[in-house]
Amino acid sequence: MTATDTRRPPTSSDSPPPRGERAPRVLSFSHKLSRWDLKFSPYLYISPFFILFAIVGLFPIAFTAVISFQEWDLVRNSGTFVGFDQYIWILGQPQFWTALRNTFSIFLLSSVPQLILAIFIAAMLDRNIRAKTFWRMSVLLPFVMAPVAVALIFSNMFGDNHGLVNNVLTNIGLNPIPWHKDPFWSHIAIATMVNFRWTGYNALILLAAMQAVPREYYEAATVDGANAFRQFWSITLPSLRPTLIFVIITATIGGLQIFDEPRMFDNTGEGGPAQQWLTITLYLYNIGWGEFNFGRAAALAWILFIIILLIGLINLFITRRLVRDEGGRGEITPRRRKRVQR
């Protein structure tokens, strides 16, 4: 096909050729093929992921929605339609609200200290230190451990009577902490397990982002007389914005789905006699796999899905506002444009 060929059609449309002489619009088959190739191949190449995602991702989500409107019998694989009854039942359960409270409490107790600590560690690792790789690998080490193993070890440490922590406390003359009785302390214990595992991981991601900040900024700031803290606050943090958003959103999703740690916190895995550390996912598990009531469990799964969606959006909004682009090298925000114009 030459360049002139391709340009011809518009001209021909301007002055239609006489009847019978019209240029054939139907291209040859191989022509067609190559056109389809151009059009559909990209989709074909990426389709394996989407087909797989449809099978193991979308279908279960949709099917969960179907089940959530039914009284479902797992063994007989059938159910009767009950409308929104399952949702109403879940929302009417005091356990659900306790679980929601616990989930948020554990989420906040883990995410906030975890992020602050991760930024701090990353900032330390970003400096010129000896044996860099060694430190970086050590930070990631807890992440390699299986969550259940972590939970088992920590649950042992947080035993009420024979746990390591309480033994130390009583040995130095303090009162033992009621880890398995008081909601707050059980949340602290569980948050500790989460922090232990995830801080290093987040620190490494943030470190990677910090390494990408051009060194010239720091040099210029040093010349301007800014101290390390000021540099961190005005250069590092704003540059981390996109990464922070990512880390916060993944931490939110992970935090709201916390399961392994509370499940392993005692031997029954039911979240405590008064639901002290019952989380949403644990509640979901107990309804589904404890009582085999999959209608209710599916309804709860959808409620959790909606909660996570909402929190994710709120998070995105807040993070965007909190970590402004000041001092960064990104595009000029309206506010800065104004300042520049002045």
Partner 1 sequence: MNSRAFRRGAVAVAAFSASAIVLAGCAGSSGDTPSSDPNEEITLTLATFNNFGYTDELLQEYMDENPNVTIVHNKAAESGDARANYFQKLGKEGLADIEAVEIDWFAEAMQYSDLLAEVPESAKGRWLDWKEAGATDGDGRLVGFGTDIGPQAICYRADLFEAAGLASTPDEVATLFDGDWSNFFDVADQYKTATGKPMIDAANSVLQGIVNQIEYTYTEPDGTVIATENPEIEDAYNLVVERAVPNSAYSGQWSDDWNASMANGEFAAMLCPGWMLGVISGNAPDVTGWEVADVFPNGGANWGGSYLTVPANGANVDAALALADWLTAPEQQAKTFVNAGQFPSAIEAQSDPAITDSTNEYFNNAPTGEIFAARSEAITVTPFKDANYFKYHDALQNAVNRVFDGLEDQTTSWNTWVAEVEAF
Binding site for partner 1 (CB under 8 A): 56, 60, 74-77, 89, 92-95, 147-148, 152, 155-156, 159-163, 178, 180-181, 259-260, 263-264, 266-270, 273-274, 276, 285, 289, 291-292
DSSP 70: E
Triad 145, 150, 152: Cα angle to 5°: 140
Q: How far is the CB of 290 from partner 1 (least distance, A)?
A: 8
Quick one: CA torsion of 102, 103, 105, 109, rounded to 10 degrees?
130
Cα 149 versus chain centre, distance:
22
Helix (H, G, I), strand (E, B), or coil: what is residue 71?
Answer: strand
Q: What is the dihedral of CA 73, 74, 78, 80, to 10 degrees?
A: 30
**Which residue's CB is nearer to partner 1, number 114 or number 186?**
186
Residue with Cβ nearer partner 1 (244 or 258): 258
The residue whose two tokens read 């070890």 is 153
Q: Which CB sits closer to partner 1, 44 or 164? A: 164
Kindly tell me which of 94 and 334 has the beta carbon lying closer to partner 1: 94
Q: What gap in Å lies between CA 122 and CA 127, rounded to an integer?
A: 9
Closest to partner 1 by CB, 126 vs 266, is 266
Instruction: Write b or e for each residue in 50-61: b if 16 or more Cβ atoms lie within 10 A of its Cβ, otherwise e.
Output: eeeeeeeeeeee
Residue 124 or 148 with smaller CB distance to partner 1: 148
Tell me how far, at minimum, the Cβ of 331 lies from partner 1, in Å. Answer: 41
At 37 the three-state DSSP class reads: helix
As measured in angstroms, the least distance from the Cβ of 303 to partner 1 is 17
List Cβ neighbours of 278 (8 Å cut-off, separation of 6 or more).
95, 98, 99, 102, 262, 270, 271, 272
239: Cα separation from own chain's centroid: 20
Task: Name the minimum Å distance from CB 69 to partner 1.
Answer: 20
Q: Smallest distance, Å, CB 233 to partner 1?
A: 40
Cβ atoms 169, 176 nearer than 8 A = yes
Q: Where are any strands of DSSP class E within 116-269?
A: none
The closest alpha carbon to 247, from 308, 307, 206, 211, belongs to: 206
User: Min. distance of Cβ 161 from partner 1 in angstroms?
Assistant: 5
Answer whether 248's CB lies under 8 Å from 322's CB. Answer: no
Q: Which is nearer to partner 1, 18 or 92 (CB)?
A: 92
Residue 191 beta carbon to partner 1: minimum distance, rounded to whole angstroms: 18
- Comparison of 207 and 258: residue with beta carbon closer to partner 1: 258
Smallest separation (angstroms) from partner 1 to the CB of 264: 5
**C-alpha span between 22 and 19 (Å, rounded):** 6
